[in-house]
Amino acid sequence: MRFAPWLPVLLLTGCASATVPPAQQACTTMAEPWKAPRTADSARDAAGAAHVRFAIGEGMRFTLHPDGEVAYRTLPQGEGEAKSFGGMASFTVERPGTYSVGLSEPIWIDVVEDGKPAQSIQFGPGAACSGIRKAVTFNLAAGEHGLELSGSTEREVAVLITPAP
């Protein structure tokens, strides 16, 4: 067997230049508008949700309530899962189209359109380093819409609705 004096150098160089996979890299900046979201208490019922309004493109951080205290319009009523939280809010769609709802936590979400849950057309994780852990896409008509958040293990959740690309 021959000794290759350049092999240890090659191995060390390869190790030194190895990069950390994206999933393991630390994010150094947070995407806009997550840096300074507006905060609000979510509503416990539809009447309250009409007063907890936010705009498309506006980052929000909602304080949630125990699921059993929220009278959802479209979800079954009851105590919910043990130690889960939820709430409601509302927003206006100016132009019909496809919109993505980004969430900081992987929780259950419904968009209420004409008193019924809108059908989601896609869901998955957000982009790396976006601050979005779950994104759900909907085709929405122009008009008033409700947002129902449920099943969270956290007392707060950040939400951002944007036109889908």
CATH number of the domain that residue 133 is part of: 2.60.120
Domain count across the chain: 1
* Per-residue pLDDT in tens (0 to 9) along the chain, 165 residues: 444 443 333 333 444 434 444 444 566 655 565 677 889 999 999 999 999 999 999 999 999 999 889 999 987 555 556 689 999 999 999 999 999 999 999 899 999 999 999 999 988 877 777 778 898 999 999 999 999 999 999 999 999 999 998
Count of CA atoms in the C-beta half-sphere (13 A) of 73? 24
| pLDDT score for 29 | 59
Three-state DSSP state, 145: strand
Residue 103, φ and ψ in degrees, nearest 5: -130, 145
Q: Say how far apart CA 154 and CA 133 lie, in whole Å.
A: 13
Q: Say how far apart CA 147 and CA 89 lie, in whole Å.
A: 5
Using CA atoms, how far residue 144 sits from 7, 27, 107, in Å, is 67, 35, 22
Assigned domain for 98 exists: yes
Assigned domain for 8 exists: no
Assigned domain for 82 exists: yes
Q: Say how far apart CA 102 and CA 121 lie, in whole Å.
A: 14
Helices (H), 17-161: 46-49
| pLDDT score for 3 | 46
**Domain assignment of residue 81, given as a range:** 25-163
| pLDDT score for 77 | 54
Assigned domain for 10 exists: no
Assigned domain for 39 exists: yes
| pLDDT score for 70 | 92
Assigned domain for 5 exists: no
Instruction: Work out the number of other CB atoms within 10 angstroms of the CB of residue 98.
Output: 13
Assigned domain for 18 exists: no
Assigned domain for 19 exists: no
